[in-house]
Chains A and B, each alone.
Chain A
């Protein structure tokens, strides 16, 4: 498999610290993002511990179980949280994928996102784990759920908080020409899916495309940290 990748992170215009981290390890075929939870102290530390532990886990080789690895990383972040913020702990989102043998395995917890542009179709590969989506799921089962507007984006799953997080797992066949995009919510709250699809279909290199996306999010306010990773599959 041959691919080109690019990653970019920006503190944005309103935050004092960049609590996002990204994974871009070409040699491992490992890509993704982590968005430290801003409502708690130590978001940056949570995201940093997460990406470092994921890299370490993948480097160990062997038969990889992304769900088990993600859950182990969550425990590690939880342990760190006990040390630096005992009352509430720390937390982060995590969305990452591994390209191997012509397939992508994807693990996801939180409200960062992964997309693929494949022969014209732009598909969101992840579902945001937030109150709004959880309420939608419960309503579909016939339950009567009310969500206050200020809580609708609150996370229902994350890395680092007590308990073992439920991890969404995807795996699918990669084809030549696919473009995989991992992003934190700082970008996808500023740029719609339709706009992202249009940008990602463009002729630019991955590096130039990333700059376009970050610049657009900044022009629209850059209210959060902005981080994304882009992978072009040149040969499956």
Chain B
């Protein structure tokens, strides 16, 4: 017997408490691990909109949108994440985001 997908577990938690951004963040992570980026987007957007200083959902959202070929949608999220990375002095994410955004001007 195969264990149920982790996303099933977190989807049930989100169904019980849709306003719980931590449940949604975990669901998004689980969906991404299952290569279901399109399904993760709404949950990452919810997290990013709920906490204006939360960098990780913005990075994941930008990268997921890029992977789905939605470059114009990805750019503002990556720019917003870069702004947070600089403001909060997170050097590794800053370097990663600068690299991703550099791809937009080429």
Contacts and interface: CB of A to CB of B under 8 A. Distances in A.
Interface of A: 103, 118-121, 123, 125, 170-173, 175
Closest 10 CB pairs of A and B: A120-B90, A172-B26, A173-B26, A173-B29, A172-B22, A121-B55, A121-B56, A170-B22, A120-B93, A121-B54
A123 B50 CA distance: 12
Given A120-B55, A121-B54, 6 more contacts: A119-B56, A119-B90, A119-B92, A120-B88, A120-B90, A171-B13
A103, A123, A173 interface centre (most CB from chain B within 10 Å): A173
B35 to A, nearest CB: 16
B56 A173 contact: no
B13, B88, B90 interface centre (most CB from chain A within 10 Å): B88
Interface residues of B, number: 20
A123 B54 contact: yes
Q: Is the interface of A mostly helix, strand, loop or mixed?
A: strand
Given A120-B90, A171-B13, A125 B22 contact: yes
A175 to B, nearest CB: 8
B85 A172 contact: no
Contact of B26 (A119, A123, A171): A171
B5 to A, nearest CB: 13
Interface string B1-40: 0000010001001000000101101100110000000000
A120 B85 CA distance: 8
6 contacts: A103-B26, A119-B55, A119-B92, A120-B56, A125-B22, A175-B29
A175 B26 CA distance: 11
A119 B93 contact: yes
Nearest to A194: B88
Contacts, number: 39
Contacts of B20: 170
Nearest to A123: B54
A23 B101 CA distance: 44
A123, A125, A171, A172 interface centre (most CB from chain B within 10 Å): A172
A118 B13 CA distance: 21
Contacts of A172: 22-23, 25-26
A73 to B, nearest CB: 23
A120 to B, nearest CB: 3
Contacts of A175: 29
Contacts of B53: 121
Nearest to B88: A120
Nearest to B21: A123
Contacts of B29: 173, 175
A67 to B, nearest CB: 12
A100 B99 CA distance: 35
B6, B22, B23, B29 interface centre (most CB from chain A within 10 Å): B22
A30 B6 CA distance: 22
Contacts of A120: 55-56, 85, 88, 90, 92-93
Nearest to A102: B6
Contacts of B13: 171
A103 B13 CA distance: 14
A120 B6 CA distance: 25
